[in-house]
Amino acid sequence: MNDDIILDIQNVTKRFPGVTALKNVSIQVKRGEIHGLCGENGAGKSTLMKILSGVYPYGTYEGTVIYNGEELKLEGSSIHQAAELGIATVYQELTLVPLMTVGENVYLGKEPIHRKSIDWNFVYANTKEILSRYRLDVDPRATVKDLGVGKMQMVEIAKALSEDAKVLILDEPTSALTEAEIDKLMEILEILKSHEVTCIYITHKLAEFFRTTDTVTVLRDGETVVTKPTNELTEELLVSYMVGREMTERFPTGDRKPGEVIFEVQGLRATDPNNSSREVLKGVSFDLRKGEILGIAGLMGAGRTELVTTIFGEYGKITDGSIVLEGEELKIKNSRDAIEYGISLVPEDRKGQGLVLIQSILNNVSLPNLNQFAHFGRLDKDAELRASMQQASDLAIKAPNLQVLVSALSGGNQQKVVIAKWLMSDPKILIMDDPTRGVDVGAKYEIYKLMNKLAEQGVSIIMISSELEEVLGMSDRVMVMHEGRSNGTLTIADATQEKIMALATGIG
């Protein structure tokens, strides 16, 4: 019986500074099955896959992984090592070089050498062989950028599969695919199964588990909750496994009395700025009251970040719908307009979008607010310093002085710098995109307290969060998005994790 287990993960624990991402995780994957892996954002799915693919090498985690009867000891020196052993991974983001051909991509980094030169005939012949074996309908000599996303995904799979792949890990392969392309992927999975390739399938779309998988394991907060044959499960059961936990006292209590509606978004539709045929927002409506915290929940790819960056004037091209602030319809062309209207955005990617890492706290905090301090082109540095020091002390930014470079600060303090920079402009609406991502528990609590204080002072806050607990702990109301649409708004009294998950996965 034990022969049937190709991958036996035993009591694996993975710690990061300040966080334990996996706690005693044990999963047994049978040879030839499609094994679904299910869990909220941050449940530990990606960490587990990175252990299997060697991104986190042997020795950086506790516990053992038995693969094909032997302990798996990946060195992490080359990402090809796992693939050579037969464990192939297809990552969520496409990893292809767009200007190269399919064959060049499949053999990238492992080009066959014949008489000191790359053997291109071998490359194209073998790529063709792999593609036809799994009935992937792609021309090996086509340039990748000319392929659709669905075919790119197939190339990605072909690249991952070496001649004798035994296990294929698919991390959210369908997040960018259309319905027809998903159907095709499902067929490919069946073909792989007939070739005795074992699949580990990660997705946020619960329905897909019931289309393809034989077994599903649910992870929650880094722990295995349950492993069951798919036919013993329902979507409702999965949701309850995913979120079934007690709320703890992690959120400060606020004393807020939201006022009248000041901000309203109606039927907002927008397209991808780089691809006007791709609609990223397909009808979003919500309103926001003065001094309210509105949580926006949804799964990855539901369009939450696209929504707020579009409102801020820096992402999508609006094709329909209206944005109204205090009775005035806004025409926001760029972030300058948004700031002018009193809308601020704490962006999702703190280091990439929020901060100039090589500059001081002072320069970062005052950057969007220099107009306040300019007199006939000259900056009043005293006033700038005074205002920045005020913000820094209000927010309890921990640093010896404001000349410290932000790159030297902890994640929590960096986030406070981003918030400080936006509070100085005295916004009416503060949009916070995943404000506590990568922030330790103590600093999280301080950020929550700050949000409560701001709301009490009359600032309206829109908070995107991937953590359901955070959404429930902080919001007055919760708007749930699903595939570019607002799929319903719940008052906090009504909202439960199950209801939010149901709306977010589109089954509610």
Partner 1 sequence: MKDSSNLASAFRRNIQTYAIIIALIAIWVFFAFLTDGNYLKPQNFSNIFRQMTVTGLMAIGMVIVIVTGNIDLSVGKLAGFVSIVVAYFQAEIWTDVLPDQAILAATLSVFIGLSVGVLWGILQGWIISFLSVPSFIVTLGSMFILNGAILLVTQGKTIPANQPGLSYIAQGYLSPIMGWILAALVVAYLYIHMYRSRASKKKHGFELSSMAQDVGLTTFFALLVVGYVYIVNQYNGVQVPVLILAVASVVLSYMSTNTRFGRYAYAIGGNREAARLSGINIRSNIFLVFVLMGFLCGVAGVVLASYVGYGTIAAGQGYELDVIAAAILGGTSTLGGVGTIWGALIGALIMSSLSNGLQLMNVAPSWQYLLKGVVLVLAVYADVTFKKRS
Which CB sits closer to partner 1, 149 or 396? 396
Which CB sits closer to partner 1, 145 or 386? 386
Element (H, E) at 28: strand 19-30
Which CB sits closer to partner 1, 125 or 374? 374
Which CB sits closer to partner 1, 13 or 335? 335
Instruction: Please state, in angstroms and rounded to a whole number, the distance separating the CA atoms of residues 132 and 138.
Output: 9
Strand pairing category for 5-16 and 19-30 = antiparallel
Q: Is the distance from CB of 347 to CB of 419 less than 8 angstroms?
A: no
In 3-state terms the chain splits into helix, strand, coil percentages (rounded to 5) of 35, 30, 35
Instruction: Please state, in angstroms and rounded to a whole number, the distance separating the CA atoms of residues 392 and 387.
Output: 9
The least CB distance from residue 46 to partner 1, in Å, is 24
State the DSSP string of 146-166: GS-HHHHHHHHHHHH--TT--
Which CB sits closer to partner 1, 425 or 466? 425
3-state secondary structure of 353: helix
The least CB distance from residue 77 to partner 1, in Å, is 23
The least CB distance from residue 316 to partner 1, in Å, is 15
3-state secondary structure of 504: helix
What tokens were used for 306? Answer: 């696209």
Instruction: Please state, in angstroms and rounded to a whole number, the distance separating the CA atoms of residues 411 and 438.
Output: 6
State the DSSP string of 53-110: HTSS-TTSSEEEEEETTEE----SS-THHHHHHTEEEE-SS----TTSBHHHHHTTT-
Within 186-248, strands assigned E span 198-202, 215-220, 223-229
The least CB distance from residue 323 to partner 1, in Å, is 17
Which CB sits closer to partner 1, 283 or 368? 368
Which CB sits closer to partner 1, 200 or 430? 430
Name the residue among 29, 3, 34, 27 with its Cα closest to residue 197.
34
Applying CB under 8 A, the residues found at the interface with partner 1 are 312, 314, 334-336, 338-339, 345, 347, 352-359, 363, 367-368, 370-371, 374, 377-379, 381-382, 385-386, 389, 401, 421
Which CB sits closer to partner 1, 70 or 382? 382
Which CB sits closer to partner 1, 179 or 382? 382
The least CB distance from residue 368 to partner 1, in Å, is 4
Separation in Å, CA 189 to CA 150, 217, 479:
14, 18, 35
Which CB sits closer to partner 1, 117 or 371? 371
Which CB sits closer to partner 1, 1 or 358? 358
The least CB distance from residue 363 to partner 1, in Å, is 7
Instruction: Please state, in angstroms and rounded to a whole number, the distance separating the CA atoms of residues 311 and 348.
Output: 14
Name the residue among 141, 135, 78 with its Cα closest to residue 106.
141
Which CB sits closer to partner 1, 115 or 378? 378
The least CB distance from residue 507 to partner 1, in Å, is 35
Name the residue among 222, 229, 235, 240 with its Cα closest to residue 26.
222
Separation in Å, CA 72 to CA 26, 67, 217, 232:
15, 6, 21, 31
The least CB distance from residue 352 to partner 1, in Å, is 6
The least CB distance from residue 266 to partner 1, in Å, is 25
Other beta carbons less than 10 A from residue 329's beta carbon = 10
The least CB distance from residue 372 to partner 1, in Å, is 11
Strand pairing category for 429-433 and 460-464 = parallel
What tokens were used for 283? Answer: 């009808």
The least CB distance from residue 268 to partner 1, in Å, is 20
The least CB distance from residue 78 to partner 1, in Å, is 25
Separation in Å, CA 307 to CA 1, 46, 239, 464:
51, 25, 25, 10
